[in-house]
Every structure is written in structure tokens, then in C-alpha cells.
Structure 1
Amino acid sequence: MKEDSRCPLGSRYCAILNAVNYISTVLSDWADNVFFLQLQQAAVSLGDDVWGPLGATEAGRLASLEGSLFEGLLGLLERLRADMLGRLLEAVMREVREKAQPYSRDRWLSLPSQLDQATMSLSSSACPLMLCLRDRLLQLQQLLCLPLFQSFWQSLAERLDQFLYQDVILYNHFNEGGAAQLQFDMTRNLFPLFGHYCKRPENLFKHIKEACIILSLNIGSALLLRDVLQQAEEESVTPDPQRPSPESTLNELGVFRLAPCDVHILLSLRASWPGQ
């Protein structure tokens, strides 16, 4: 087991994880089985001869059927399952961070405008990242049982959303072409990778999706939004009830997760402002 833990992407590691999940599922079912409930009641009636010196609270929980015969073992298995899934997720994220390095250093500030391109295509620097994600998702879909794989890809999407938002988007500045390219890479390539597992994959990547909305606003809308945020900041002590709140303005744009302060930072990452 210790040797297998050093290679969490291997088939043996995944087989052990599947076994842990299976045993946990079976014991959870047994905990509600009439036979084991009767056995539990009989064991409680025998008292210390079976359980040893249990505390009054624990004995009372077992007697009232709040606890189960397998509670301790289930807790141990759940911790093991969570730890193994965490190791698996971290192994994939290490690969993702490595493959994403060229993408995070791309020329976002000097990419050609969308109007200057006949057709848009995936950034060449994003190809290793997308291939890594595709291959790992396909591999683990085959190696893990369905409940474990569902838990894995949901956690992976959450980690990816945070990672790409913080290490790619907030790390760079974007001109109009860079913002359009980022949006294309995310909405037409990253999100569809998870579209095999859910109907609305964009909802898994709310930070990325909303950041793309802000970065891709036309200059007029961006100026108006910046003014709204600045006025709200200046009037934070005595807000004007006649003015729309920053939150309502952002909601109209489709931004619900990001706070006004986050949007203000994103606006500062735009390179195309009048007079610049």
C-alpha cells in the first residue's frame, strides 16, 4: 500500500481505492439492515461482555440506533477514501501546473485582434494542458468506479477553476485579442472536456467564465462599469439610493460569483483603455 501510494495514477492504486469505496458502501448498507440492527440491540443488552467499558453516551447512541455496529470502521474507511482521492487529485494537479506553465506565460498583451484572424483556434501553448486533462479524465474514468470518478472530476474542475483564475488570468494583462483568445480557449476547449460528464460545464468554472466576461467587454461597457465601481467606492459611507448598486450592475452582465473588488482588479488587467 505504501509503495502504491507513491504512484496514485497507477491501476493498483485505483483498484485499492475502488475496494475501499466498495467496502464502505456495503457496510453503510449493512448498518440499516434489519439483521444487523437486531444484532446491535442484542449486543447492547449484553453490555460490557460484548462492548467492553463503553461510555454511557456511546452505549446510549447504540441502544437508540443513532450509531451503528460499523460506525468506527466506516469513519476510518471514509478518511482513507478522502485521503486517497486527495492524493490522486494532487497528482493530476501537479501535471496540470507543469503543463500550464507555457500557457500562463503566453503573449496575452500582444495577440492579434479577433477581427484580424480568419478563424480562431486553440492556443498552441494550451495544447499540452488540454491533452493532459483529456488523457487523465479518460484514464480515470476507466479505472475508477462511477461514484469515485464523479467525485474526482467535480473536485478537479473546482481546483482548475481556482488555478487558472489565479495563475493565468490574474497573473497577466490582456489586450482585446488576448481576452478573445482566452475566452475561446476556455469556452470552446476546456469547458467541453467536462461536458461529457454534465450538461452545463461552464457552471463548474464560474471564476473563469465571469473573468472572461469582464475582460471581453467592449470599451464602452468597460468604462461604464469602471465608473459604477469607482462611484460606489467613493460613496461607500453614504451610498446614493438612486444609483444602481455594483452588484446589480454585475448581475446584468452575468457576473454573480466575483465581488466588485475582484472585478475592479480584472478591469485593471485590460490593456485597451482610451488614452493608453
Structure 2
Amino acid sequence: MKEESRNPLGARYCAILNAANYISTVLGDWGDNVFFLQLQQSAVALGEEELLGPLGVTESGRLASLEGSLFEGLLGLLERLRGDMLGRLLEAVMRDVQKKAQPYCRDRWLSLPSQCDQATMSLSSLACPLMQCLRDHLLQLQQMLCLPLFQMGWQDLAERLDLFLYQNVILYNHFNEGGAAQLQFDMTRNLFPLFGHYCKRPENFFKHVKEACVILCLNVGSALLLRDVLRQAEEDEEEPGTPEGQQPSPVSALNELGVYRLAPCDVLILLNLRASWPGK
């Protein structure tokens, strides 16, 4: 197993992971089987330590009332093994993806041409290695993992990628109008559809990125109004006793834009990453 762990993207590693998942599924089904339930009751009544192992009063009571299962201990071990192995596999994928994403993270987001200056929008050339790497890994995982594991895997991968892009592309850079439009195009028209093969609304797994794109791509007037609302809300918090109801709630203002995950303080940070302000 140590040898296989050195290559978590290898066929043998994935085969072991599939086997652990299969055994866990079978034991879970057996736990509800009438034969094993009767065996469990008999073992508890006779105090068979060979079957049950050393149990305390609480554990014995749970087994006697059929709340627990003969296979609980083994299932717990298999669950931990499956979680650890799947996590190690996804870490290996993310290392490869992050390596390919480095040029994209350092793109010239502050000086990209505006959407009006381009005949048609196209995928950023620096995003191509990232998208290709991600596509290849998704296809590889789909072929090598059983369906339940693949479902867990791609969802976990999407959420990891969401945080990575949010922290290393969006929060790390400043954006002019063209940069914000390019980022939104790359994400909504290229990244999200990669996961659209596996679910109807892949953007729901990229909430940080999706909502950040909304904020960065707001027109100047809407962005100014939103910034004023958020700043006023901050001032009201610092000065207790300010009459309520005179200003719209920052949360409701964000919800109207479709922003639910990001907090008002996060949105203020994003607004400060915009370069397209009057006077700049």
C-alpha cells in the first residue's frame, strides 16, 4: 500500500480505493440483512466476544436494540480509509492543476483590452493549459473510479478549485473592465461547462468565483451604489444608535445581485480590486 500511495493517480491505487468502497457498500447492506440482524441479536444475548469484541454497556445496548451493526467498527475503518485515499488522490490532481494555473494567476488582468475592442471573446491563451489539464484529469477519474467515488471526487475537486481560483487569481490581482470580462468568460463559458457533463448547474460548486465575477463585472454606477451601501453599513456598525431602515440592508443589496456566499466585507475587498472607477 505504501508503494501505491506514492502514485495516487495510478491504476492500482484507484483499484484499491474502489475495492474499499465496494466492501464498505456490501457491509452496509449486510448490516440491514435479516440474517445478520438475527446473528447480531444472538451474539449479544450470548455475549459472543469473538463476533462482537470487547464492548461497553452502551455499545451492547445499541447492538441489542439494533441501532448499531455488527460491522460498525469495520465500516468506520473503511470510511476513514476511503476518505484518506480520495483526499490524497484529489491533492495530487490539485497539485498538477495549480502548477498549470500559475501563468494564468499572473496574467495582465489590469491591462487587458475591453470587450468592446474585441470582435469576439475567446478563452485566454494562459487558461488553455489549466483547462486541458483539468479536462484530462476529470476523464481519467471518471474512467478509473466507480460512479459513487467519482461523484464525490469531482464535487470535492470543484470546491477546491473554486477556493484556489478565488484566492490565487481573483484576490491576488486587480482588474480593469477587460480583465473582469475575460475572467468571467473563462469561468462561465469554459470552466463551468467542464463540470456541466456531471450536473445541471455546475456554477453552484463555484460560488466564490461566480459571485466574485458578478461584483467585478458590475457597471460603474451599480458598483458605486453598492460600495456606498456597504461602507455606510460599516459606519453604522461602528456608531451604535444610527436609525434603522434609512439605508438598504447590505445583505439584501447583495442578494438582489445574486450574491449569497460572499460576506459584505469580502465584497468591499473585491470592489477595491476594480480599476474602473471614475477619476482613475
TM-score bracket, shorter-length normalisation: over 0.9
Equivalence for 2:179:
178
Q: Distance in 2 between matches of 1:68 and 1:196?
A: 37
Look up the SS of the partner of 2:268 in the other structure: helix
Structure 1 residue 242 corresponds to structure 2 residue 246: yes
Distance 1:52 1:264, change over 3 A: closer
Which deviates further from its counterpart, 234-243 or 63-72?
A: 234-243
> Aligned in 2, Cα 1:49/1:101: closer, same or farther, shift over 3 Å?
closer
Q: CA deviation at 1:131?
A: 0.4
Whole-angstrom distance in 2 between the partners of 1:230 and 1:12: 55
1:260 aligns with 2:261: no
Q: Name the counterpart of 1:130.
A: 131
Please list the CA deviations of residues 77-100 of structure 1 after superposition, one character each: whole Å capped at 9, or x if unmatched: 000000000000100010111111
In structure 2, runs of 5+ residues without a counterpart are none
Amino acid at match of 1:249: A
Partner of 2:276: 272
Structure 2 counterpart SS, 1:235: helix
Q: What is the distance in 2 between the residues matched to 1:231 and 1:159?
A: 33
What displacement does 1:49 show?
Answer: 5.6
After superposition, give the CA deviation of every residue in 1:167-188 in whole Å (9 maximum; x if it has no partner). Answer: 1100000000000000000000
Task: Describe the shift of the 1:210–1:53 C-alpha distance in structure 2 as closer, same or farther (beyond 3 A).
Answer: closer
Q: CA deviation at 1:230?
A: 1.2
1:147–1:239 Cα change, 3 Å: farther
Larger CA deviation: 50-59 vs 66-75: 50-59
C-alpha distance in structure 2 between counterparts of 1:239 and 1:113, whole Å: 42
| Partners of 1:52 and 1:254 in 2: CA distance | 54
Amino acid at match of 1:256: Y
Which range is displaced more, 179-188 or 199-208? 199-208
Task: Tell me the CA shift for residue 194 of structure 1.
Answer: 0.4
After superposition, what is the alpha-carbon deviation per residue over 1:123-176, rounded to whole angstroms, capped at 9, x for unaligned? 111111100110000011011000000000000011011110011100000000
- Partner of 1:45 in structure 2? 45
The answer to whether the 8 Å contact 1:48/1:54 transfers is no
Identity %: 83
> How far did residue 54 of structure 1 move?
2.7
- Output the CA distance in 2 between the equivalents of 1:45 and 1:11: 45
Root mean square deviation, CA, Å: 1.1
Task: For residues 197-226 of structure 1, give each alpha carbon's deviation from its aligned partner in whole angstroms, at most 9, with x where no partner exists.
Answer: 000111111110110010001111111111
**Whole-Å Cα distance in 1 between the matches of residues 207 and 49 of structure 2?**
56
Alignment: residue pair count: 276
Distance across 2 between alignment mates of 1:49 and 1:149: 38
C-alpha contact 1:44 1:59 (8 A) present in aligned 2:
yes
Q: Which residue of 1 aligns with 2:27?
A: 27
User: Following TM superposition, by how much is the alpha carbon of 1:242 offset from its aligned partner in structure 2, in angstroms?
Assistant: 2.2
Equivalent in the alignment of 1:208: 209
The residue number in structure 1 matching 2:148 is 147
Give 2:114's aligned residue: 113
**Matches of 2:254 and 2:59 in 1, distance apart?**
52
Query: How far did 1:52 drift?
Result: 5.4
**C-alpha distance in structure 1 between counterparts of 2:55 and 2:212, whole Å:** 55
Distance (whole Å) between structure 2 residues aligned to residue 54 and residue 136 of structure 1: 44
Alpha-carbon distance change, 52 to 261 in structure 1, aligned in 2, over 3 angstroms: closer
4+ residue segments displaced more than 6 Å: none
Q: Distance in 1 between matches of 2:97 and 2:72?
A: 37
**Counterpart in the other structure of 1:83:** 84
Worse-matched range after superposition: 239-248 or 75-84: 239-248
Pairs within 5 Å for 1:210-229? 210-229=211-230
The TM-score with structure 2 as length reference comes to 0.96
What CA distance in whole angstroms lies between the structure 1 residues aligned with 2:189 and 2:211?
15
- Residue 63 of structure 1 and its aligned partner are, at CA, apart by 1.1
Gaps in structure 1 of 5+ consecutive residues: none
Give the secondary structure class of the aligned counterpart of 1:28: helix
CA-CA distance at 1:34 after TM superposition: 0.2
Question: Aligned partners of 1:253, 1:54: CA distance in 2, in Å?
Answer: 56
Shift of 1:53: 4.4
